[in-house]
Chains A and B, each alone.
Chain A
Amino acid sequence: GAVVSQHPSRVICKSGTSVKIECRSLDFQATTMFWYRQFPKKSLMLMATSNEGSKATYEQGVEKDKFLINHASLTLSTLTVTSAHPEDSSFYICSAGAGLEVSEQFFGPGTRLTVL
């Protein structure tokens, strides 16, 4: 099956710093990538949908200036958490699909962010 990687897998940072998370589709071109956030013992919460070459579509309640998404190529999307605060600590997961009418999303392994 298709492989999606995420980097870093775990990051600890100080409050006020910015953190960049990369999501790469390794063996296919992903026209659409999705960024999720998951709190402990909760389901995935879609943050934004990222389409290559265009602006990301953010879900209601997600601050676009705080969570910057860039989908520069068909194999790479990045999520930057700007001026991170402890409440931003969470598990961030990306997934990729080959097109809008995709029957399966391929998930990255996730990034555990801890903000001190």
Chain B
Amino acid sequence: GQNIDQPTEMTATEGAIVQINCTYQTSGFNGLFWYQQHAGEAPTFLSYNVLDGLEEKGRFSSFLSRSKGYSYLLLKELQMKDSASYLCAVMDSNYQLIWGAGTKLIIKP
């Protein structure tokens, strides 16, 4: 079966760095996405990785290792507004998104 695993909840301090991990087992691979979702709102796109390596975009970076079925989202200089759920999703061979359950990130002052 297809499976996406990520931690349920993480806590970090304002100004610090946090890494949210995601491991996956899917039928084929056409890219991995990270989305941010605030409570009561739709997800917003953060990053897309299809090749191995690190993609940096401002305070957010995303890493992918296809051989390990592993990705992480790195958030630097954390701000209170970064408190949200972070969803990892993999596009499988049918170009369908398989979603993880999301990681709730709590930022403390």
Say which one of B12-20, B59-67, B68-76, B98-106 lies at the interface with A.
B98-106
**Chain A 59-102 residues near chain B, CB threshold 8 A:** 91, 93, 100-102
In the complex, which range does the number of interface residues on chain A fall in? 20 to 34
The DSSP consensus for interface residues of chain A is loop
Residues of A within 8 Å of B42, CB to CB, are: 93, 107-110
Interface centre among A91, A101, A107, A108, by most B CB within 10 Å? A107
Total number of residue pairs linking A and B with CB closer than 8 Å? 45
A34 to B89 CA separation, bound complex (whole angstroms): 14
Cβ of A54 under 8 Å from chain B: no
Contacts A34-B97, A43-B100, A104-B45 known; list 8 others, CB within 8 Å.
A42-B102, A43-B101, A44-B99, A46-B99, A100-B95, A101-B95, A107-B45, A112-B40
Q: A-contacting residues of B (Cβ < 8 Å)?
A: 30-31, 33, 40-45, 48, 50, 87, 95-97, 99-102, 104
Q: B-contacting residues of A (Cβ < 8 Å)?
A: 1, 34, 41-46, 49, 91, 93, 100-110, 112
